[in-house]
Amino acid sequence: MIGIYFATVSTFIFVAGAYLNFFPLLIGIRQSADPIAIGVIMSAMTLGSAASSAWIGKIAGILSERNLMILAFILYALALGIIPFIDQIWLFLLPSAVFGIAQGINLPAIQALLGGLSKVENRAIVMSFYGTSLRLGQTVGPLIAGALFTLYGMNGVFLISACLAGFTSVLVGWMTRGFHRRCAEM
C-alpha cells in the first residue's frame, strides 16, 4: 500500500505545486492573460477530469487500476512537459485538459486499489491515510515547486515536474506490482 500512498502524495505535489500555483503565473506572465482567460484555461482541467471520470468504468474493464495509475502519471508528465514550449494562449487548453484527464483516471484508480486491498473493518483507517497523503502532497507541492522556481526558473518547475511524473510512473509500477493478484485473492 505504500506505493499507492506514494502515488497520492506525488499526484498532489504536481497538482498543488506546478499546476495550481505556477501554471496560472506562467500564463499571466508570458501571455499577459487577463484573469478570465486564465480561469477558462484552468477550467479545462476540470472538464478533462469530468470527461475521463465518465469513462473510467469502461477503461477499467480494459486496464487494471495499477496500469491506469501508470497511464495517469505518463499523462501528467506529458501535460507538464509541454507547458514551457507553448507560445499561444489558447494552446494552454491542451495541457490543462490532459492534466485533468490524468486526474480523472488516477484518483478513482487509487481509491479503487485502496478499497480493494483493505478489509472492510480497516477501510476507514486506510482512507484516512489516503486523506493524510493527499494533504501532505498539497502541503509540500508548493514548497517543492517554489524551490524549483528559485533554482531553475519557471520552465524548470514544469520540466523537472514532468521528469518526476515520468519517474513516478515507473516507481509506482514497480511498487504496485502484484496488486491485481492480491485484490483478486481478497
- Report the number of distinct structural domains present in the chain: 1
10 Å CB burial of residue 154 (0-12, 13-18, 19+) is middle
Per-residue pLDDT tens digits for 169-185: 999 888 887 655 444 44
DSSP 1: -
DSSP 86: -
Most confident of 15-19, 76-80, 120-124: 76-80
The domain containing residue 164 runs over which residues? 2-185
Which pLDDT value is given to residue 184? 42
Say which CATH number the domain at 170 has: 1.20.1250.20
10 Å CB burial of residue 156 (0-12, 13-18, 19+) is middle
Per-residue pLDDT tens digits for 55-110: 887 887 888 888 999 999 999 999 999 999 999 999 999 999 999 999 999 988 88
> pTM (2 decimals)?
0.90
